[in-house]
Amino acid sequence: MTNNTDSRLSQAEVDRFQADGFLLVEDFFTNEELDRFGEAVDAAVEHRTRDDGRKFDEKSLYEQTFLQCMRLWEDHDTVRPFTFHPKLCAAAAALLQTDCVRIWHDQALYKAPGGRKTDAHCDYPFWPADTTDQVSVWIPFQDVKAGGGMMSYVKGSHRLGLTDFVDIGQLHGGEAYDLLQEPAVAACDLDPVVAKKGSAVFHHACTIHAADANDTNDMRRVMTMAYMADGCRRSRDDAYFSLDRDNIKSGEKIRGAGFPIAWPREPGDLPSPPKMLGPKTGFEFSDADQR
């Protein structure tokens, strides 16, 4: 079992994550690290969107929620050490109580000034995996507080057994179903989390979470990574770029160039990226251009 020393998480923090389904760890990163990684992710987002000259109000409702750039570790070698940061990957292993984790994906989620709220949802229904052994980490490059795209988490909701898909991308049009109105969800506390620069906020794949609109004049710059316990299998065959790229069929173990082991790894050893790159922006199952 992963030693908590590697993750620098205390047993009390691991216990709190298991009870609440999320965990705020302040000062997880140093300012120097955050500035360096923030610059790398800014440059990667800029690079991915360099051909998109649209103004904010010309974008879809989904794109007005956040600009989503997935798998940045694959085409930006300055981002790769962030996605595979040993302390982060060890923390994922400690929280999932496993010895070995793989990267599921990383993604920048940049919420522009005027960006709409992120509707309440949990991640698991988006991901065709046969177990819920996945954890995400949400890392802001600046302080994020109320009114600035701040996250809230429904305490204990990972234990409710709710895996309803919420169309936060408005892929099917119209307003998303309001998961917070579900009686079992409404009975739990919705905890807003003010996240200072340097914080890492972890959440379980079944924890319901949402973000408020960005009413500030500044871009809310956030990077997230999702890690999964080694051994998860694909659960369904509907199109999913990264699984299809590695030719992983339903029932097969998720592995391959797109899902390298994130923990444990030798210090300084980073995985080689897959050769084929996916859409520059958008969801895994979007039919946006591939490169």
Ligand X SMILES: O=C(O)CCC(=O)C(=O)O
Residues that bind ligand X (CB under 6 A): 66, 109, 111, 118, 123, 136, 138, 149, 209, 211, 222, 224
- Which of 184, 151, 142, 169 has its CA nearest to residue 42? 142
Q: Minimum distance between the CB of residue 263 and ligand X, rounded to whole angstroms?
A: 20
Nearest-5° angle of CA 66, CA 68, CA 73? 145
Q: Specify burial of residue 89 (Cβ count, 10 A radius: 0-12, 13-18, 19+).
A: buried
Q: Minimum distance between the CB of residue 201 and ligand X, rounded to whole angstroms?
A: 8
* CB nearer to ligand X: pick between 40 and 70: 70
Q: Minimum distance between the CB of residue 256 and ligand X, rounded to whole angstroms?
A: 23
Rounded to whole angstroms, what are the CA distances from 154 to 96, 227, 237?
Answer: 19, 21, 30
* CB nearer to ligand X: pick between 2 and 224: 224
Cβ-contact 229, 217 below 8 angstroms:
no
Q: Minimum distance between the CB of residue 203 and ligand X, rounded to whole angstroms?
A: 7
* CB nearer to ligand X: pick between 110 and 263: 110
- Which of 148, 152, 124 has its CA nearest to residue 66? 148
Looking at the chain, list the stretches that DSSP marks H as alpha helix, in order from N- to C-terminal side.
Answer: 4-7, 11-20, 31-48, 61-65, 72-75, 80-83, 86-96, 183-186, 241-245
C-alpha dihedral (200, 205, 210, 215), degrees to nearest 10: 40
* CB nearer to ligand X: pick between 4 and 216: 216
Cβ-contact 59, 109 below 8 angstroms:
no
Q: Minimum distance between the CB of residue 151 and ligand X, rounded to whole angstroms?
A: 6
Q: Minimum distance between the CB of residue 123 and ligand X, rounded to whole angstroms?
A: 5
* CB nearer to ligand X: pick between 83 and 118: 118
* CB nearer to ligand X: pick between 90 and 206: 206
Q: Minimum distance between the CB of residue 68 and ligand X, rounded to whole angstroms?
A: 9
* CB nearer to ligand X: pick between 190 and 276: 190
Structure tokens at 145: 């507080």
Question: Quick count: other Cβ atoms within 10 Å of Cβ 180?
Answer: 15
The rounded distance, in Å, linking the Cα atoms of 167 and 137 is 21
